[in-house]
Amino acid sequence: MTPRVGFDLSIHPSSRTVSQGNQAIYNVTVRSSGGFSSQVTLSYSNIPQGSNANFDLNPVTPTSEGNTSKLTISTSLNTALGNFTFNICGVGGTETHCASASVTVTPSTEPYFTISIQPSQRTVTRGGSTTFTVTVTSHNGFNSDVSLSLSGLPAGTSGTFTPSPVRPPPNGIATSTLNISASADPSYGTYTITVSGSSSGYPPQQVQVTLIVSSLTQPDFGIYIMPTTLSIVQNRSGVATIQIVSINNFAEAVNLTLHNIPPGVTYLISNPVVAPLPGGYVNTKLTIQTSSSTSIGNYTLTLRGESSSKTHTLNFFLVVVRGPPSSFGKCIIATATYGSELSPQVQFLREFRDRRVLSTFSGREFMDAFNIWYYSFSPQVASWLTEHPSGCEVLKVMLIPLLEILQLSEKIYVMFEFAPESAITMAGILASFLIGLTYFWAPATFLLKALPFKNRRRLVSSTAIAWVTSITLLAVGVVTLTAPLVMAASTMLVLCTVTIGSLSLPMVVLRVLRV
């Protein structure tokens, strides 16, 4: 059999944990097959906000044994906390392959400081001045002087801090006023200025704000988009917010259009014509829809705002990444949430399952039974979802309560982790009860309402007896290490608990209403 000519891409490890201000390092390995010899260019997307990444080797020439590039994700003290799933893609020849991994960012334990500034934007007119408030915050007992400096000011303007340096009390804050003055002949326009804070022996901090320098006689508007880079999975959609800001009491209607759109991409602006209030701003939503024919890659799009007197453009970036790998196509949840805002939660729960649930005897046996049932239909549904992205959007909404329930059960497990078998049992009971209460209360209400009162009591009592029996058999199975008994008893316990959860609310409501 002739081997396929191409390459494969993998990343190891699949997850890392890093504290703010440190680095997480991954090995990205590219292997060739069938004599493939083209260079492979690597790219990344969806790393945590406030971090940056780089490859020590890019592009990579793959070999049959595998050539490795080291990916370093560098976090700062301002990097967002939490678990993040990011994507690594390689493009070589006519092929594109992607792999996913996760990074968990935890708070720094070393003393440090951060700076912030309010408001995020000010307008200064010729011959006038404006002020910002700079706040220096102490973390983990930081208690040193912080010197403030300014860069990026346009010609004809100047800035001073009062006071500088500042020293926040341990775990407290200190403020300084930044005053910016404009001369009689400044450079007009919109500028991004940078405020820096430095303290000997500590990492420097920076924050940026927008300064608009204008003439009193020239009403104008500013155009902005958030985020400035939008990553979207093939055949999915993404949303950004467009903001139009009034300068010098500008109040005209602004017509918004999008340009340089790649093939296979469509867009919708919810309000394509907006008018800010004088001295205020107005927001509207931009939805970008990709298709299966949209090529993987990075694109620069141009947002254009046009009024009767002014026209402004703004570039922002669209990153289109490959859809779920074939392994994801077997799992409904992974397929529906791939590349979405729910991906970090799903990855977190996947690690909870692999590291904790499967480390217990009863957890392993229950998952064996659950997988037999779940994967009897999951691949077919996941395949349908891949072809119908709108179904993913509906399913994501339905999955939000489930993900929250499972995260709560993980916290219960952690509380009692000193006794793993008991901990996983309590976590499973809580999750099953809440799943029944959340997803099945409506059909349970119709069922109970259709039953005579005597039969309702019989249903509840028989379920309770089955519940007690199942938890007793589970305990016996765990003590005697009887795998078939644990599998059957844990499955029975989950089903009984889901039933009790679904019946609890309807029973209370029907009793109160005396129905």
The pLDDT of residue 88 is above 50? yes
pLDDT band at residue 273, thresholds of 50, 70 and 90? very high
The pLDDT of residue 448 is above 70? yes
Question: ∠ at Cα 416 (412, 422), nearest 5°?
Answer: 95
pLDDT tens by residue, 201-215: 888 898 999 898 877
Percent of the chain with pLDDT over 90: 36
pLDDT tens by residue, 363-401: 888 888 888 888 788 888 877 877 777 777 888 888 888
pLDDT tens by residue, 129-171: 889 999 999 888 899 999 999 999 999 999 999 999 999 998 8
Per the CB < 8 A criterion, the answer to whether 476 and 468 are in contact is no
Report which DSSP code applies to 357: G
pLDDT tens by residue, 391-420: 778 888 888 888 889 889 888 888 888 888
Predicted local confidence at residue 174, as pLDDT: 93
Predicted local confidence at residue 127, as pLDDT: 81
Per the CB < 8 A criterion, the answer to whether 349 and 406 are in contact is yes
Sheet of 6-12: strands edge to edge? 6-12, 23-33, 67-75, 51-55
Predicted local confidence at residue 324, as pLDDT: 54
pLDDT band at residue 328, thresholds of 50, 70 and 90? very low
pLDDT band at residue 326, thresholds of 50, 70 and 90? very low
pLDDT tens by residue, 475-484: 998 888 888 8
Predicted local confidence at residue 339, as pLDDT: 62
**All domains of the chain in start order, with CATH:** 6-106 (2.60.40.10), 112-214 (2.60.40.10), 220-321 (2.60.40.10), 326-513 (no CATH)
Q: How many CA atoms lie within 13 A of 506 on its CB side?
A: 25
Per the CB < 8 A criterion, the answer to whether 314 and 224 are in contact is yes
Predicted local confidence at residue 340, as pLDDT: 66
Task: Count other C-beta atoms under 10 Å from residue 276's C-beta.
Answer: 22
| 3-class SS letters over 3-71 | CCCEEEEEEECCEEEEECCCEEEEEEEEEEECCCCCCEEEEEECCCCCEEEEECCCCECCECCCEEEEE
Predicted local confidence at residue 140, as pLDDT: 83
Mean of pLDDT values over 457-485: 89
In single-letter form, the type of residue at position 201 comes to G
- Backbone φ and ψ of 437, nearest 5°: -65, -40
What does the DSSP assignment read for 222-289? EEEEESSEEEEETT-EEEEEEEEEEETT----EEEEEESPPTT-EEEESSSEE-PPTT-EEEEEEEEE
The pLDDT of residue 327 is above 50? no
Residues 209, 168: Cα–Cα separation, whole Å? 22
